[in-house]
Amino acid sequence: MEAELQVLWAAIVAYVLSGVIAIFGVALGRHRERIVLGLIVLGLTLQTVSLGMRWSRIGHGPFITLFEILNSNVWSLMLVFAIAYWRIPKLRPSAAVVMPVMFVLMGWLMLAHPGEGHFPPTYRTPWLYIHIGMAKVFLGATLVALGIAGIVLLRRFGVGIRRFANLPDDSRLDELAYRFMALALVFDTLMLITGAIWAQDAWGRYWAWDPLETWSFITWLLLAFAIHMRLTFRPHPVRNAWMIVAVFVLAFLTFFGVPFVSESAHKGAV
């Protein structure tokens, strides 16, 4: 276990360095985008190795304990952000917003106990990977949207105006963030559908108002609300940005809060 943890800490060091360089890059107006991307890719590679070592040692993927769930989410969120960072240069400064959020997750991961959990028989199905995969893309898209919304909000509060000045104007960023919210809605919908199919197979009901199910549905409703709000009132980008923050916070609490405070079957209980 030691070796896999050391590789994981090395990955985290790479992520933290990339984040620090990104934040200073924005603050000081120096563009070090290739270095930032290179460090993220290095972190991803190391973390993939660490996850693989653990997977082959304990015989199942990172789906059970808080440590594993944080670990796999740091990985998937960094992966989604890395792809967006690489493909859409305009949103690169948003790393200064996204990386601090990731630091929270990474800090939490380092505090979590890396022990093993029981892998319940209901997890031995392809739906595990499909459902969790959808959830990860959903959260990843929401994180990218949050990063863009963060720029709009920072500008509004006068932080980094100069640094962010050469970025597209608020309405263009708003449009870009909206695309990621749309992507989030599609994958959130897929997550709910695949989760219902899996629940029907595993527990004999597709919906039972368990806390994680219910809060995921409320997150979906908030997304529907945010999208309709935008259509109906065409709000200022700053308002839309706040809506995105709300969606991210709710999704974050649902993902990382509810499973660890509820005693429902979703935890993979006996």
Partner 1 sequence: MRARASTWPAFFSWTLGALASLRLTLVLIVLLAPAVVLALNFEEWRSWPLAIPLAGLAVNLLAALATRPAFRVQPALVVFHLSLGALLLLIALGRLSYLRGTLELTEGALFDGDLTTVDAGPFHAGRLKEVRFAHDGFTIGYDPGLKRNTTRNPVRWLDESGRWRKSVIGDHHPLVIGKYRFYTSHNKGFAAVLSVESEGSLPRTTVVHFPSYPINEFGQTNELQLGDAGGNVWMLLDFDEVILDPARKSEFRLPTDYQLIVRDGDARHELSTGNAVSLKGVTLRFEGLRTWMGYNVFYDWTLPWLAATSALAVLSLGWHFVGKFRLKAWDN
Q: Which residues bind ligand HEM (CB under 6 A)?
A: 185, 224, 227-228, 231
Q: Which residue has the tokens 């970025």?
A: 167
Please, what sign has the CA dihedral across residues 212, 140, 49, 93?
negative
Contact between 31 and partner 1 per CB under 8 A: no
**Rounded to the nearest whole angstrom, what is the least distance from the CB of residue 225 to ligand HEM in the complex?**
9
**Rounded to the nearest whole angstrom, what is the least distance from the CB of residue 232 to ligand HEM in the complex?**
8
- Tell me, by CB under 8 A, how many residues bind partner 1: 46
Compute the distance between CA of residue 140 and CA of residue 137 in angstroms, rounded to an integer: 5
One residue of 197, 238, 246, 249 binding partner 1 per CB under 8 A: 197
Compute the distance between CA of residue 245 and CA of residue 239 in angstroms, rounded to an integer: 10
Angle separating helix axes 126-156 and 237-256, nearest 10 degrees: 140
Phi and psi, residue 160, nearest 5°: 65, 25
Residue closer to ligand HEM by CB (options 124, 172) is 172
Contact between 228 and partner 1 per CB under 8 A: yes
Tell me the CA distances in angstroms from 176 to 179, 190, 198, one per residue in order. Answer: 5, 22, 33
**Rounded to the nearest whole angstrom, what is the least distance from the CB of residue 214 to partner 1 in the complex?**
4
Using CB under 8 A as the criterion, which residues of the chain lie in contact with partner 1 when the complex forms?
87-90, 118, 120-122, 124-125, 127, 172, 176, 179, 182-183, 185-186, 189-190, 193, 196-198, 200-206, 209, 211, 214-215, 217-218, 221-222, 224-225, 228-229, 231-232, 270
